[in-house]
């Protein structure tokens, strides 16, 4: 509804689409006219209405997101300066490491916070709060930028097969949605595929994972994370645990690791070294973990817990 005028009591005028008055309520004593018209919400320019009313533009406040915490592990000298990158940090009022607030933090930009980590023990979640919203406990999946690299609903995305493999979009099997990524060996043996590169910060805790299905045999599959420097040169390739896939159920393969110093980008790889047939991949994820890992628990930590 749209309203005009000011009055001490309600004054209501309702009209139809042609402008004919259906209901008109007036008040005595010279009260200022007021009119209300029913319109579809989509017909309103909210910003123009606010401007006409002398109000500032409305800027939606989105929940903060934490992409990377660097370093993700406290140094041997103990907790100190930490850099947090993400989105929606403008106006943040709280930064916590587990149950403890950061002793000090500075919002350098909407996507950057520098902070001092409090003393603590174990592994804790780093949360940013502001405007009534708090960042998630879970990693931000960078592969969701498109519907291709994670759930394959729009194609095979940036994934590419190794020289021993072919990749294609498949509707034969899918864990979510209608499609999955099919990795087929060109000859019996190994088959693998890898995403394109995504940004990362050296020193951050990161995770890569995917769900896999091997209908033609209980194959041995693992996830790997490959890290590259700013020039594109490979810095490291970290292998996750080998998992025995199922012919009937989707199982998860994953790798969690600290990105090496100097890393600028990373990629997720799914590898089947005993491919008896096609491997199907769905619901892939890659991103930083919003956590901070303190030194191994000491006697003091155990006594304080």
CA pair distance 129, 68, nearest whole angstrom: 16
Domains, the chain:
2-52 (no CATH), 65-134 (2.60.40.10), 142-288 (2.60.120.260)
pLDDT 10s digit of each residue in the chain, 305 long? 444 444 444 455 666 667 676 666 665 555 555 455 566 666 667 677 677 767 777 666 678 999 999 999 998 877 889 999 999 999 999 999 999 999 999 999 999 999 999 999 899 999 999 888 999 999 999 999 877 899 999 999 999 999 999 999 999 999 999 999 999 999 888 999 999 999 999 999 999 999 999 999 999 999 999 999 999 999 999 999 999 999 999 999 999 999 999 999 999 999 999 998 999 999 999 999 999 999 775 445 654 44
Check if the beta carbon of residue 280 is closer than 8 Å to that of residue 214.
yes
What tokens does 91 get?
A: 């106006």
Q: What is the pTM of this model?
A: 0.76
Residues 6+ apart with CB under 8 A from 195: 143, 149, 157, 158, 159, 267, 268, 269, 284, 286
Check if the beta carbon of residue 73 is closer than 8 Å to that of residue 49.
no
């Amino acid at each position: 509804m749209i309203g005009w005028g000011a009055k001490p009591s309600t004054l209501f005028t309702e009209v139809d689409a042609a402008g004919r008055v259906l209901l008109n309520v007036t008040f005595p004593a010279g009260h200022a006219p007021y009119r209300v018209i029913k319109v579809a919400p989509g017909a309103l320019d909210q910003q123009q209405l606010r401007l006409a009313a002398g109000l500032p533009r409305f800027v939606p406040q989105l929940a903060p997101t934490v992409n990377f915490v660097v370093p993700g592990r406290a140094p041997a000298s103990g907790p100190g300066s930490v850099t947090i990158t993400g989105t929606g940090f403008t106006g943040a009022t709280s930064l916590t490491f587990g149950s403890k607030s950061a002793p000090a933090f500075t919002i350098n930009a909407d996507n950057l916070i520098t902070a001092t980590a409090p003393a603590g023990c174990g592994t804790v979640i780093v949360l940013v709060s502001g405007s009534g919203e708090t960042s998630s406990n879970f990693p931000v999946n960078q592969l969701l930028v498109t519907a291709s690299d994670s759930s394959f609903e729009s194609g095979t995305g940036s994934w590419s097969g190794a020289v021993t493999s072919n990749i294609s979009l498949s509707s034969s099997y899918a864990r979510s949605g209608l499609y999955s990524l099919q990795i087929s060996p060109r000859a019996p043996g190994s088959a693998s595929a890898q995403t394109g590169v995504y940004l990362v910060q050296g020193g951050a805790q990161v995770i890569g994972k995917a769900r896999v299905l091997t209908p033609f045999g209980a194959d041995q599959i693992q996830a790997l994370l490959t890290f590259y420097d700013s020039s594109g040169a490979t810095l490291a390739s970290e292998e996750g645990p080998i998992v025995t896939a199922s012919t009937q159920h989707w199982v998860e393969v994953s790798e969690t690791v600290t990105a090496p110093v100097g890393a600028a980008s990373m990629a997720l790889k799914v590898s089947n070294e005993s491919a008896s047939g096609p491997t199907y991949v769905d619901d892939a994820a890659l991103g930083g973990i919003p956590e901070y890992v303190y030194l191994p628990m000491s006697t003091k930590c155990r006594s304080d817990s």
